[in-house]
Amino acid sequence: MQQKTHSEDIRDIISTPPSWLLRWGITSVLLVLFIVVLTSTFIHYPDVVRASVRINALNAPRTIVSKVSGNVVKLLVWENKLVTTGQELALMESTANHSQVLGLLRQMQLLREKHVMNANEDLAALEAPVYLQLGELQSAYQAFYQSYLSYRAAAVSGIYPKRRSYIQQDISNIKAQREQLLLQQTLQEQEYTLAEKEFGRYKALAEKQVISPAEFQQQQAALLAKQYPIQQTKSTLLTNESAYVSKTKELAEVDNQIAEEKSKFIHALNSLISDAEHWKSQYVLTARQSGKVAFVGIIQENQYINAGQEVFYINPGSTDFFGEVNIPQYNMGEDKRRA
């Protein structure tokens, strides 16, 4: 009985909470949560991620690398010299004469530019150099030179120009003959018209029996005789036209043969330029951009350079730089500072 009374008292205390808890308890909890959230926005988790940074420029210095192994035959620049794009910096060892190859390359490039401008007379009048020390390019130049001789013979001094001249003369003669035949045909037609009128008068007299039948038949035979020259002239004109077509066809065939030789020559020219440019990229170090030259270490003439070895830097003098950084991705759910 005592235990039951005690339980009722406890229940009364529990079921009747203090009035201040009802008024301020929930408010206090919300205030604490707000303070925690507000504090978390200003206080970051002290996690530092380390990463490497690569500094680049908008126009970074370019490295000039040797593509072949060999000695430096000649240095064409010095430290801090200003150079332009494409300028030659050094010559690498080769079995060819560098000045002859570079001169030949410039000559062939100029020749191709003239071809683009359709300067055919310059192509035909080219005097290709001989006795050149071209080394690695010797076989390519030999093929070009043979094509050059064939095209020169076809376009300037060979049988094709002479044959073309003869055909053009024949065509001129055929045209002149045609003009004469047309004039002759006109005269014959006029003469036939007069004979036809004359025959008409004799026909009227024959109908009136003024002349004898024999005389009328004689005039009829004369009229028919006037038709024969006209038919013969027409036949000659057809023969003339056939000869003109035949000669025109011959001229087209000769022009086609010359064009084929020219096409072979242009193909050989482009192949030689391509081979010479490849040779230049191998044995002549050139600037890839404008700027100041910087030597990579000590570089001297007759010094041996390995393929892939850096020889020069070209500094364009750029002052605009930017950084590149790669940050690893881990614990991405946390708010953290990165550096």
Joined tokens for residue 327 = 């940050």
State the pLDDT at residue 36. 76
Looking at the domain assignment, is residue 271 inside a domain? yes
Exposed, middle or buried, 100 (CB in 10 Å: 0-12/13-18/19+)?
middle
At 199 the pLDDT is 78
Residue 51, C-beta contacts closer than 8 angstroms, at least 6 positions apart: 325, 326, 327, 328, 338, 339
Mean pLDDT value across residues 281-291: 86
For position 339, what pLDDT does the model report?
A: 40
Strand order through the sheet with 284-286: 284-286, 88-92, 70-75, 304-305
- List, for residues 219-234, the tens digit of each pLDDT value: 778 878 888 888 888 8
Tell me the residue type at 95: T
| CA–CA–CA angle 197, 203, 208 (5° rounding) | 135
Q: Please name the helix (run of DSSP H) or strand (run of DSSP E) that holds residue 286, with its range, or none.
A: strand 284-286
Lowest pLDDT segment from 88-102, 116-130, 187-201, 320-334? 116-130
d(CA 157, CA 30): 107
Question: Domain span at residue 223?
Answer: 62-118+134-315
Q: How confident is the model at residue 338 (pLDDT cuts 50, 70, 90)?
A: very low
| In-domain check, residue 283 | yes
Report residue 1's pLDDT band, with 50, 70 and 90 as the boundaries. very low
Could you tell me which residues are beta bridge partners of residue 194? Answer: none
Q: Would the pLDDT of 153 be above 60?
A: yes
* Residue 27 belongs to some domain of the structure: no
Query: Is residue 127 a part of any domain in this protein?
Result: no
Q: What is the pLDDT of residues 14-40, one digit of tens each?
A: 666 556 555 566 677 777 777 877 777
Q: Helix, strand, or coil here: 212?
A: coil
Quote the mean pLDDT of the chain: 78
Per-residue pLDDT band at 313 (split at 50, 70, 90): confident
DSSP 3-state of 55? strand
Q: Calculate the CA 254 to chain-centre distance.
A: 30
Q: What is the pLDDT of residue 2?
A: 46
Q: Count Cα atoms within 13 angstroms, Cβ side, for 182.
A: 8
Query: Is 293 a member of any domain?
Result: yes
- Least trusted range by pLDDT, from 158-172, 263-277, 286-300, 316-330: 316-330
Tell me whether residue 328 is in a domain. Answer: no
Residue 38: inside a domain, yes or no? no
Confidence of residue 322 (pLDDT cuts 50, 70, 90): low
How high is the pLDDT of residue 8? 67
How far apart (Å, rounded) are the C-alpha atoms in residues 167 and 330?
Answer: 87
Domain total for the chain?
Answer: 1
What is the distance of C-alpha 297 from the center of its chain?
39
Banded model confidence at residue 167, pLDDT cuts 50, 70, 90: confident
Model pLDDT for residues 90-107, shown as the tens digit of each residue: 888 888 888 888 888 888
Could you read off the pLDDT of 53-72 as tens digits, one per residue?
Answer: 776 666 667 788 888 888 88
Is 308 within 8 Å of 70 (Cβ atoms)?
no
CATH number reported for the structural domain that contains residue 192 in this entry: 1.10.287.1490
Q: How confident is the model at residue 336 (pLDDT cuts 50, 70, 90)?
A: very low
Q: What percent of the chain has pLDDT over 70?
A: 75
Q: How confident is the model at residue 127 (pLDDT cuts 50, 70, 90)?
A: low
Q: What's the number of CA atoms in the CB half-sphere (13 Å) around residue 240?
A: 17
Q: Is residue 324 part of a domain?
A: no
pLDDT at 142: 87
Q: Residue 83: which of 64, 67, 102, 98 has the closest Cα?
A: 64
The reported pLDDT for the residue numbered 337 is: 44
